[in-house]
Structure 1
Amino acid sequence: MKALILAGGYATRLWPLTKEKAKPLLLVNGKPLVTHVIDKIPADIEIYVATNITFKKDFLKWKKTIKRPINLVFEETSSDTNKLGAIGAIASFVKENNLTEELLVIGGDNYFKFDVQDFLSNYNGKTLIGAYDIGDLKEAKKFGVLSVKDNKVIEFQEKPKNPKSTLVNTLCCVFPTNIYPLLFDFVKIHTDNQGSFIEHLVKETDVEAYVTAEDWFDIGSFDGYMEAHKRAPKERNHDEVSKFYGVDFWGEGNVIKGNVFFDQGAAIKDSTIENCIIFSDCKIEDSVIKNCIIDEGAYINNAKITGQIIEKGSHITDVIMNKEKKIHLGRDLAKDSGLPIKIQGSDLYLGNKKLEYATRSLEDARPYLAKSKALCKIEELYRMFRDVYLQSDLEMLRKNNLRYDITIIAPGLIGDEYVKTIGHYHPLKEGAAVSYPEIYEVIEGHANFILQKAEDGKVEDFIVVQGQAGDKVIIPPDYGHVTINVGNTPLIMANVTADNFSSEYGDFKKLRGAAMYRTKEGWKANPRYEIENFKKAKPNLSFKYLDVDLPLYKSLINDHAMYDYLVNPEKYSFKDALEITSTIKIS
């Protein structure tokens, strides 16, 4: 006897979780579904796993974790539209291997507790089907339904509208060799549904059933996956927070309830987690998460989420989410911004007025990226709220040619490059030999500000300034600049500039961004530039035009004369605006 595990579906009902991950490789209690299946197959049976070429790399990696020999079979398909289907894959396997032995077939997305050896002991040369009493006629409609008398299947209905029983097909069966001719004839017309072939066999041959009372779950939907997770036996000690392996708990308010699985690299702070699957490298702060699947690298802060699949790499803050609604929680930025501003989602409100904004999309940014075709699920990279003011301050701002803006940059990666602004230079002031400067303030988040002087790709100076909440950074004249969000949360920053010029983007676009790219591995040189080294710097807090005590807007309104350097830069020296902390040679 050979064993064939079917693991080639695309599981669109579990998207986004299975968008980049094969369903049989999803974890239940820290172990892939397909591994649970393999562990139940007797050691003397040779195992083949049939999947599709899309997930080849993942299955090759998985195979290295299995201690017994495994044969992988890859189907050359890329989506549900051109896949062979379950019965097509079985027929193809039998034919290509000239199989002369019985075949044990198991769905790789099954999670079950019955003993496969006991199942096989009931095989007597006739097709044998594993059946499970799902106990609910409504649920039975989703599966192949068996009517059984004295262990013989007398009728089989594939996903009937009016099921006659609650016994359902588990996609665990043994095919004897004498049905192979019937199989080859059947797939000339039908290739997808295994249940349809069972229905055909019941009409043409004797088919027997093995009925189990042990738990069985079809991991084809969110509810099925979560139910399997809740009822799975705990294979790690989840009774005490301190016993979770590879998880960083901080703060004193963590509560873990029910059956929770954490993959390595997760970090949890002051949160309640109940009946959840938390994949690797997730970070959850000040949140309540119930009955959820949180995919790799997600960041969640100040959220209440119930019954959701959170996509890989998502960044979610200030929301209430369940199956019925998604509510963005408003948050007051008045203390940090100096304005009566609230943020709700990515929208800003000044008092009760929703502020207008312009956006930069992923497509807008592609000409400025290290890799123009890099994958990214973030469509809107940042929002620019131009010319923000209180009505009582408008006359003063216009008279002094000053403008206050706010920008919100999404967190995350484009490929392996952090989300950033596309970058620009300021023009020379008319009648002067210097360009207009600018001042930035970090209201929330963690920024890298890039400042560069370059001509025709030859870099004269390149400076990186770290910025965190409350920091102010002056961009001196003649420097182009880019802002990068290197944090897990949206980067909210303000800026003040003269209000009589347009920024220039051409040089950055021509050379695909700045001279260095900030990636998750670190800084990487842009090969279109000549650059020998770069400097790291911090704001010089003693610089006389830098107000470290007040939020930028309040400082501007209180003493607008101090910001004259933004309008008349030729009158001022900027050499002490930044304090260089190190110089790094580029190898």
Structure 2
Amino acid sequence: MKALILAGGYATRLWPLTKEKAKPLLLVNGKPMITHVMDKIPSEIEVFVATNETFKKDFNAWKKSLKRPVKMVFEKTSHNANKLGAIGAIASFIKENKINEDLIIIGGDNYFKFEIQDFLANYKGDTLIAAYNVGSLEIAKRFGVLSVQGNKVVEFAEKPQEPKSTLVNTFCCVFPKEIYPMLFDFVKIHTDNQGSFIEYLVNKTDVRAYITEEDWFDIGSFDGYMEAHRNASKERNHDNSSKFFGVDFWGEKNTIRGNVFIDEGTAIKNSTIDNCIILGHCMIEDSTLKNCIIDEGSYISNCKLSETMIEKGTHISNTVLRKDKKKHLDRDLSIDAGIAVKLKGFDLMLKGRKVEFATRLLEEARPYFAKPKAESKITEIYRMYRDIHLEQDEVKLRNNNLRYDITVVAPGLIGDEYIKTIGHYHPVIKGSEVTYPEIYEVIEGHANYVLQNCKENHCNEVIVIDAKAGDKVIIPPNYGHVTINVGHKYLVMANITADNFSSDYKDYEQYRGAAVYRTKAGWVPNPKYSVTSYKKVRPNLSWYKYDENLPLYKSLIKSTSNYDFLVNPDKYDFSKVFEVVSEIKFS
């Protein structure tokens, strides 16, 4: 006897979890569900796994983690439209591998607790299927339903509208080699459904049932996955949060309830986790999660989530989400910004009204990234809210030719590069040799500013500045600049500049962004540039007249004349606006 595990489906009902990962590789109790199946197959039985080319790399990596040999069979398909289907894949496998033995066939997305050894003990040479009593005629409609006399299957119907029984097919069966000719005839007409072939066999030959009382779960949907998780034995779960392997808990307000699996590399801070699966390298802070599945590398802050799946690498904050119902929580930035603004998702509100914005979409920004074709689920990378002010302040700003803006930059990665603004230079002031300067303030988040003094792609100096909430950064004349969001949440930053010019983006587009890229691994030089020096600096604002205790907007309105350097920079000395910290080290 040989064993075949079918793992070739695309599991669209479990997207986004299965968008980049095969369903049988999803974790149940800390192990891929297909590993649970493998562990139950007797060691003397040779095992084959049939899947598709799309997940070849992942399955080959999984194969290396096993303690027993397995042979992989890859179907050359990339989506449901051109896949063989379950019964077609079985017939193709038998023919191509010249199988002349009985075959045990198991769906790789099953999670069950009965022992395969006990199942096989009931095999006497007739087709044998494992059946489970789901206890509900309504639930039975979703499966192949069988009626039995003793252990003989006397009737079988695939997904009947009016089931006659609550016994269902678990997609664990043994096909004796004698029925292979019938299988080959059947697939000439039908290739998809294993249950349809069982129905055909019941009318042609004897089919037996092994009825298990042990738990069985069909993981075909979010609800099925969560039910399997809640009922899994707690091999790697503990009531005491400090016992989770490879997980960091911060703060004093963490609560773990129900059956929770948290994979290595994840950090939890002041959060309640109730019946959840959280995969590796996530950050959860100040949030409540109930009945959720959180995929790898996600960041969740100040959220209430229930009964939902969060896609790999998602950054979400200030949100209430239950299944398909989403509500953004207001993030009041009034104190930090010095003006009555709130952030609601990506929307900026001024005194309760949405502020108009210009947007930067990923598709138009691709030429500025190191890997323009890198895949990303992010479509909108930042928004620019220009000329924000209170009505009573308008005359003062216009008379001084100044403008106050707010930019909101999404968190995340494009490939392995952090999301950023595309970069620009300011024009040379008429009758002068200098360009307009600018001043930035980080209201919320974590930014890296990249400044470069270049003539086309030949740079005298490239400067990097690390800035967090409350920090202010001056962009001196003759420097182009890019802002990078290196944090896990939205980067909210304000800037003040003269109101009478437009920015120039062409050099940044021509040379694929700034002279350096910020990736997960660190700084990477852009090979399209020639650079004399790379420096890390910190701002030195001692020459700049401002009240360090005031946000930028309040300082601007209180002492507008202090910002004359933005309009008339040739009157000022900018040589000491930075203090050199070190050279940039490249990864």
State the TM-score bracket (shorter-chain normalisation). over 0.9
Which residue of structure 2 lines up, in the alignment, with residue 259 of structure 1?
259
SS at 2:69's partner residue? coil
Cα displacement (A) at 1:344: 1.1
SS at 2:81's partner residue? coil
Which residue of structure 1 lines up, in the alignment, with residue 515 of structure 2?
515
CA distance in 2, matches of 1:530, 1:486: 25
CA distance in 2, matches of 1:581, 1:389: 35
Tell me the TM-score normalised to structure 2 length. Answer: 0.99
Q: Does 2:91 correspond to 1:100?
A: no
SS at 2:423's partner residue? coil
* One-letter identity of the residue aligned with 2:310: I
CA contact (8 A) 1:541 1:548 kept: no
CA distance in 2, matches of 1:267, 1:339: 34
Q: Does 2:329 correspond to 1:329?
A: yes
CA distance in 1, matches of 2:532, 2:283: 37
Within 5 Å, which residues of 2 pair with 1:32-43? 32-43=32-43
Which residue of structure 1 lines up, in the alignment, with residue 245 of structure 2?
245
Which residue of structure 1 lines up, in the alignment, with residue 431 of structure 2?
431
Which residue of structure 2 lines up, in the alignment, with residue 347 of structure 1?
347
Which residue of structure 2 lines up, in the alignment, with residue 551 of structure 1?
551
CA contact (8 A) 2:523 2:585 kept: no
Distance 1:78 1:511, change over 3 A: same
CA contact (8 A) 2:237 2:260 kept: no
List structure 1 runs of 4+ shifted beyond 3 angstroms.
584-587
Distance 1:547 1:136, change over 3 A: same
CA contact (8 A) 2:516 2:526 kept: yes
Unaligned runs of 5+ in 1: none
* One-letter identity of the residue aligned with 1:178: E
SS at 2:530's partner residue? coil
Cα displacement (A) at 1:578: 1.3
CA distance in 1, matches of 2:386, 2:163: 62
CA distance in 1, matches of 2:545, 2:17: 50
Within 5 Å, which residues of 2 pair with 1:173-188? 173-188=173-188
Q: Does 2:333 correspond to 1:295?
A: no
Which residue of structure 1 lines up, in the alignment, with residue 91 of structure 2?
91
Q: Does 2:524 correspond to 1:524?
A: yes
Distance 1:390 1:294, change over 3 A: same
SS at 1:35's partner residue? helix
CA distance in 2, matches of 1:411, 1:211: 51
Cα displacement (A) at 1:50: 0.6
Which residue of structure 1 lines up, in the alignment, with residue 66 of structure 2?
66
SS at 1:268's partner residue? strand
Distance 1:174 1:532, change over 3 A: farther
CA distance in 2, matches of 1:566, 1:158: 74
CA contact (8 A) 2:524 2:586 kept: no
* One-letter identity of the residue aligned with 2:131: A
Which residue of structure 2 lines up, in the alignment, with residue 371 of structure 1?
371
CA distance in 1, matches of 2:398, 2:293: 51
Within 5 Å, which residues of 2 pair with 1:354-393? 354-393=354-393
* One-letter identity of the residue aligned with 1:92: S
CA distance in 1, matches of 2:72, 2:111: 20
CA contact (8 A) 1:472 1:546 kept: no
CA contact (8 A) 1:532 1:585 kept: no
CA distance in 2, matches of 1:424, 1:544: 24
Tell me the TM-score normalised to structure 1 length. Answer: 0.99
* One-letter identity of the residue aligned with 1:180: Y
SS at 1:95's partner residue? helix
Cα displacement (A) at 1:549: 2.0
CA distance in 1, matches of 2:433, 2:492: 32
CA contact (8 A) 2:237 2:259 kept: no
* One-letter identity of the residue aligned with 1:312: K
Cα displacement (A) at 1:237: 4.3
* One-letter identity of the residue aligned with 2:386: R
Which residue of structure 2 lines up, in the alignment, with residue 273 of structure 1?
273
CA distance in 2, matches of 1:150, 1:396: 91
Percent identity over the alignment is 67
Cα displacement (A) at 1:132: 0.3
Unaligned runs of 5+ in 2: none
* One-letter identity of the residue aligned with 2:262: F
Which residue of structure 2 lines up, in the alignment, with residue 570 of structure 1?
570
Which residue of structure 1 lines up, in the alignment, with residue 114 of structure 2?
114
Within 5 Å, which residues of 2 pair with 1:197-236? 197-236=197-236
Distance 1:536 1:34, change over 3 A: same
* One-letter identity of the residue aligned with 1:61: A
CA contact (8 A) 1:339 1:553 kept: yes
